[in-house]
């Protein structure tokens, strides 16, 4: 699939990859990620890393590479990634794919901060702090993408929200690596943004 037209994701992580390297490349940077896919990648394909939509520019025997613009580095957590970091990977939604999560564009709205990850047996409750100006996009029982993972807001408090994380999500994503103070990419439900725009008109 080439990087043309509308690109959508579901927030259902396909695999966890590992950052092999990040180095300066012109005005931005180049990231190399190791990952094993069920079907081959193509150059030009859209792919989401921790919820950030990028374009595959090179294929390696053990993974792929992608360019990261200076703007993306400054507005997301990709600018602070380190070698060996585990990273969520999702390939773009195909026209014949099931939509199991919610529509995710891979356009990060802001960076939040982990307040806590409370584990109870195999389950967990994740609390994320977010900038106050984005509170209008978050509702209880609504959808939100955290580092590319589609979650449901269980509780909305002043300045932060909580989401329940099931064992399967902990197993298939890097959410289990979260610790207090860790920055995370947040993308709010695009439907809320369209509704806001319609009301303003």
Contact 148, 178 (CB under 8 A): no
Task: For residue 46, give the nearest of 2, 102, 96, 94 by alpha carbon.
Answer: 2
Q: Is the pLDDT of residue 2 over 50?
A: no
pLDDT for the residue 33: 98
For 8, left (φ over 0), alpha (ψ -120 to 50), or beta? beta
**Which residues are 183's β-sheet partners?**
113
pLDDT tens string 119-149: 999 999 999 999 999 999 999 999 999 999 9
| Alpha-carbon distances, residue 27 vs 54, 76, 79, 110, 171 (angstroms) | 16, 16, 13, 22, 36
Determine the Cα–Cα distance for residues 51 and 26; give it in Å rounded to an integer.
Answer: 23
In the chain the domains, ranked by start, together with CATH numbers, are 15-91 (2.40.30.20), 110-200 (2.40.30.20)
One DSSP character per residue, 70-133 reads HHHHHHSGGGG--TT-EEEEEEPPPTTS---S--B-S---EEEEEEEEEEETTEEEEEEE--GG
pLDDT for the residue 1: 37
Q: Is the pLDDT of residue 4 over 60?
A: no
Enumerate residues 6+ apart whose C-beta is below 8 A from 15. 35, 36, 37, 89
pLDDT tens string 145-192: 999 999 999 999 999 999 999 999 999 999 999 999 999 999 998 877
């Amino acid at each position: 699939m080439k990087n043309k037209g509308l690109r959508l994701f579901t927030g259902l992580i396909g695999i966890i990859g590992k950052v092999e390297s990040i180095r300066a490349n012109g005005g931005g940077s180049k990231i190399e990620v190791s990952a094993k896919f069920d079907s081959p990648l193509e150059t030009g394909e859209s792919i989401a890393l921790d919820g950030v939509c990028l374009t595959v520019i090179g294929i390696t025997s053990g993974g792929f590479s992608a360019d990261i613009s200076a703007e993306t580095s400054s507005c997301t957590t990709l600018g602070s990634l380190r070698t060996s970091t585990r990273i969520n990977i999702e390939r773009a939604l195909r026209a014949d794919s099931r939509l199991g999560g919610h529509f995710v564009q891979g356009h990060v709205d802001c960076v939040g901060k982990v307040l806590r990850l409370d584990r109870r047996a195999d389950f967990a409750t994740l609390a994320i702090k977010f900038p106050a100006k984005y509170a209008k996009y978050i509702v209880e029982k609504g959808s939100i993408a955290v580092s590319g993972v589609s979650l449901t807001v269980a509780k909305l408090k002043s300045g932060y929200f909580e989401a329940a994380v099931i064992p399967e999500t902990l197993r298939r994503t890097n959410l289990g690596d979260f610790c207090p103070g860790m920055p995370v990419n947040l993308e709010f439900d695009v439907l809320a943004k369209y509704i806001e725009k319609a009301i303003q008109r």
